A and B are shown apart, each in its own frame.
Chain A
Amino acid sequence: DADVTQTPRNRITKTGKRIMLECSQTKGHDRMYWYRQDPGLGLRLIYYSFDVKDINKGEISDGYSVSRQAQAKFSLSLESAIPNQTALYFCATSDLGTGGRDEQFFGPGTRLTVL
């Protein structure tokens, strides 16, 4: 059973459409993250949340918004999708361990194509 799930796994949409990507976790972690992955650019942080009431912008938040509905759920929205938002999107969770270790656990990813 997957600890971090993402829906949908694949999505094709058109420019200007509103899109929501959802992430759920059963690990009981407080911290959740959204990344996008592009070829040659690695993983870039979009938004992160250290608890339900704490939402922070990451490196590339423009054009995105998030909602932390519960400890276990963190959604990413594209209000008006554009083609350069075509990418692989990952949700991750973590819980601060002993000594500051902060291992992040990733979901399987959502492949988004904006036409």
Chain B
Amino acid sequence: QKEVEQDPGPLSVPEGAIVSLNCTYSNSAFQYFMWYRQYSRKGPELLMYTYSSGNKEDGRFTAQVDKSSKYISLFIRDSQPSDSATYLCAMSAAGGTSYGKLTFGQGTILTVHP
């Protein structure tokens, strides 16, 4: 079983829809949780970053972390065609030999059609 599981999709939604992307994980040492966005033929770029449990909002994007359930989510409100990309969740542990190393989910391909 992979340490981080992410539904690969693909996910296709109409413009304006609310999108929910999710990851589950098994390593209880993970403390830092990230969402990266990757456009076609580009490298991933950090979209959202959260530490431990809770919510973080940035414009149309909201990241949620539930450490008790080992579950993280990214919500995109009023989705736009420009949101079409692959979304990767990533996590890292605090301290020890895992410090600074990211473990990625498989990525979810999202298409927002006009």
Contacts and interface: CB of A to CB of B under 8 A. Distances in A.
Q: How large is the interface on A (under 10, 10 to 19, 20 to 34, 35 or more residues)?
A: 20 to 34
Given A99-B51, A101-B49, A50 B44 contact: no
Contact of A106 (B4, B8, B44): B44
Nearest to A101: B49
Contacts of A4: 43
B92 A40 contact: no
A94 B65 CA distance: 23
Contacts of B103: 45
A4 B44 CA distance: 12
Across the A-B interface, give the 10 residue pairs with the lowest CB-CB distance, nearest first: A106-B43, A42-B106, A43-B104, A42-B104, A102-B100, A106-B44, A42-B107, A103-B46, A108-B43, A107-B43
Given A42-B105, A43-B104, A50-B100, A103 B43 contact: no
A45 B100 contact: no
Contact of A90 (B8, B34, B43): B43
A109 B8 contact: no
B102 interface: yes
A99 B105 CA distance: 23
Contacts of A108: 41-43
A12 interface: no
Interface residues of B, number: 27
A90 B88 CA distance: 14
A101 B34 CA distance: 10
B29 interface: no
A99 B14 CA distance: 38
Interface string B15-39: 0000000000000000110100000
B88 A43 contact: yes
Contacts of B31: 100
A103 to B, nearest CB: 5
B45 interface: yes
Contacts of A109: 41-43
